[in-house]
Amino acid sequence: MAAPAYNYNNHPTAVGGVASEQLFTAYQFVQDNPQFRRQLMDRHPKLKKNFFSLLKELGLGTRASGPELGHYEKDWPINNFQIGTIVTAPSGPGQPGIYALDPGSMLTSNFPGVGMVTFSYPSERDIVYLPNGKSAFLVKKNTDVNPHQITLKPLNDTDTLVGAITAGGRYFIGDNASPEGSGSVESKVARYFKYTNVFQIFKSKFSITGTALTNQLPFKNIEGKEGSFLIEGTTDSEALHMWRLSKGLFFGQTSNNLTGYSEGLGHDVQIKTTQGMDQYVEQEGHIVPTTPGTFGIENLDSVDEILTRERAGADVYLLPMGYNLFQSWNNNMIDFMKDNCFPFVKGSFQNSPIFSETDGNDHFLWLDFAGARKNGRTWLAKHFSELDEQMGAGTEGYSWKNTGYALPVDMFENKGGTNPKQSCIGYEYKALNGYSREFEMYNHGGAGPITKTSEIDAMNLEWRSEIGGHFGLGNQWVKFKPVA
């Protein structure tokens, strides 16, 4: 499992989930209505959607006009710290001890007008609650050393800190206490961080000669538009372009080692690649190791514990998974239902043109499980074909077919962003005024019913997109990662 949110010092995670503003109408999910669940996960059952088209259909793509995309997230280790070493051990009951904070509890922030400042959250007069049921008072904090050192003493003279506070131990601050007539306490405000991602330029191309354009087979008329035509083969190119977008948003990884020549600028420029969903979960979320063939109801319990401890506000989670993991989910749900004496019989088998000889009184064994409602959350399971396509991520030697995710259906406050409420999963595309680079299609060349831009007897159709993944609430994301 990944480290908890308090360990993300460079890339902290958000906690500002807006549970009251769930996407896709929360009331429908609370009722656990299969009809609406199907609309969300698969509006067209016979159509295998890729990741990009799913996000687009759900309205999770937004315009952006800046050089990069991002939002602000709030850190939350404000009342939690870790001890690095014991500087001076307490001598007995009622006696104080001096402790150095762990380097991970030392934080930095760039304060306007001041610059980069190193600080820690524990403050004088804080009361620290210990695992043994006792408490300690923070008497003094020494900020002249790095890491900072704190002096703690037990609240009662009969209590001892010997063995109660250890090197490497993590402790939480509950409240504070001040003497009558005393001055103010140290200011303590949670940090805001900016999550950023870059736009990636995707391109695809389809070319056809002028001679081929005048043959009957390569093109067809567009119904209702006299004189127009659609070149056969463009749909394949369009599908390829959507494939590239989808794979970039799902599997994409950031880079710093790529350059290429820009004909428009006349010199080399950086080639940018966007961070995809998987890398985001790996860096900001939780990793739950899973053994192939064992994924079932117990995994929901373990994930729910993570989400509860992370203060997750979403009560609807998507569970996209590779086929092997999805098969394991169904098989283990069958065992769970069998052990608990639930019926599998859905109802009478309906006659169909394919099996016309079927008796309408026959029963139908229904063994698919599209989700579950457990521990106050709705889990929507979905086989995600992009994880196991034989000519894609399902190529032998890859482990994606046993991989899955738990993704929150939620929004959060986007401090300082263009949109005050941001979906925790989606993408942004470059656009300004009437020009959009989400899925731009254009043609050029020296043949066909277009303005000629070349002497070459051919026409080119090109697709161009400038898109980046936009993800948030990383501490509430989970990846089910297979182990041997």
Q: Average pLDDT, stretch 239-243?
A: 82
Last residue of a domain, one of 181, 214, 230: 181
Residue 338 lies inside a defined structural domain of this protein: yes
Which of residues 301 and 54 earns the better pLDDT score?
Answer: 301
pLDDT of residue 8: 36
313 and 243 belong to one structural domain: yes
How many domains would you assign to the chain? 2
DSSP structure class, residue 17: B
Tell me how far the alpha carbon of residue 302 is from its chain's centroid.
18
pLDDT of residue 199: 95
pLDDT of residue 196: 87
Residue 434 lies inside a defined structural domain of this protein: yes
Residue 256 lies inside a defined structural domain of this protein: yes
Residue 354 lies inside a defined structural domain of this protein: no
Are the CB atoms for 40 and 380 separated by under 8 Å?
yes
- 73, two tokens: 């997230």
Which of residues 49 and 253 earns the better pLDDT score?
Answer: 253
337 and 424 belong to one structural domain: yes
141 and 81 belong to one structural domain: yes
- Asked whether residue 17 carries a pLDDT value surpassing 90, the answer given is no
156 and 275 belong to one structural domain: no
83 and 212 belong to one structural domain: no
329 - beta bridge partners? Answer: none
Cα(361)–Cα(351) distance, integer angstroms: 10
Percent of the chain with pLDDT over 90: 36
Cα(239)–Cα(152) distance, integer angstroms: 64
Which residues have CB under 8 Å from 187's CB, separation 6+? none
Coil/strand/helix, residue 353: coil
Residue 442 lies inside a defined structural domain of this protein: yes
Peptide bond into 408 cis (omega under 30): no
Cα(85)–Cα(99) distance, integer angstroms: 6
Confidence of residue 297 (pLDDT cuts 50, 70, 90): confident
Average pLDDT, the chain: 79
Residue 152 lies inside a defined structural domain of this protein: yes
107 and 210 belong to one structural domain: no
Last residue of a domain, one of 159, 181, 203: 181
- 318, two tokens: 């998507």
Are the CB atoms for 380 and 26 separated by under 8 Å?
no
Environment class of 78 (CB within 10 Å of its CB; exposed 0-12, middle 13-18, buried 19+): middle
User: Which of 61-75, 136-150, 377-391 is least confident?
Assistant: 61-75
User: Which of 72-76, 175-179, 273-277 is least confident?
Assistant: 72-76
DSSP structure class, residue 271: P
pLDDT of residue 469: 94
Are the CB atoms for 34 and 433 separated by under 8 Å?
no
Which of residues 94 and 422 earns the better pLDDT score?
Answer: 94
pLDDT of residue 439: 86
Confidence of residue 33 (pLDDT cuts 50, 70, 90): very low
Residue 187 lies inside a defined structural domain of this protein: no
Q: What is the pLDDT of residues 77-97, one digit of tens each?
A: 788 899 999 999 999 999 999
* β-bridge pairing 478-482 and 286-290: parallel
Which of residues 281 and 62 earns the better pLDDT score?
Answer: 281
- Asked whether residue 424 carries a pLDDT value surpassing 50, the answer given is yes
Q: Average pLDDT, stretch 283-294?
A: 90
Cα(408)–Cα(248) distance, integer angstroms: 20
- 215, two tokens: 């043959």
329 φ, ψ (degrees, to nearest 5):
-60, -50
Cα(406)–Cα(190) distance, integer angstroms: 27
Residue 169: which of 64, 217, 97 has the closest Cα?
97
Are the CB atoms for 172 and 395 separated by under 8 Å?
no
Q: Average pLDDT, stretch 456-477?
A: 87
DSSP structure class, residue 39: H
Environment class of 175 (CB within 10 Å of its CB; exposed 0-12, middle 13-18, buried 19+): exposed
Environment class of 25 (CB within 10 Å of its CB; exposed 0-12, middle 13-18, buried 19+): exposed
- 264, two tokens: 């428009």
User: Which of 57-66, 147-156, 272-281, 467-476 is least confident?
Assistant: 57-66
226 and 158 belong to one structural domain: no
Q: What is the dihedral of CA 240, 241, 247, 252, to 10 degrees?
A: 140
Confidence of residue 14 (pLDDT cuts 50, 70, 90): very low
Other CB atoms within 10 A of residue 205 CB: 12
Helix, strand, coil percentages in the chain from 3-state DSSP, rounded to 5: 20, 35, 45
Confidence of residue 112 (pLDDT cuts 50, 70, 90): low
DSSP structure class, residue 448: S
270 and 122 belong to one structural domain: no
254 and 382 belong to one structural domain: yes
Terminal Cα distance for the chain, rounded? 15
205 and 229 belong to one structural domain: yes
Q: What is the dihedral of CA 63, 67, 71, 75, to 10 degrees?
A: 170
202 and 342 belong to one structural domain: yes
296 φ, ψ (degrees, to nearest 5):
-165, -150
Residue 352 lies inside a defined structural domain of this protein: no
Give me the sign of the Cα torsion angle 249, 251, 257, 260: negative
Q: Average pLDDT, stretch 27-37?
A: 38
Locus of tokens 């092997």 = 324
Cα(389)–Cα(281) distance, integer angstroms: 21
377 and 303 belong to one structural domain: yes
Which of residues 262 and 341 earns the better pLDDT score?
Answer: 262
381 - beta bridge partners? Answer: 319
Determine the structural domain holding residue 81 and report its residue range.
Answer: 77-181
* β-bridge pairing 435-436 and 440-445: unpaired
Last residue of a domain, one of 181, 203, 222: 181
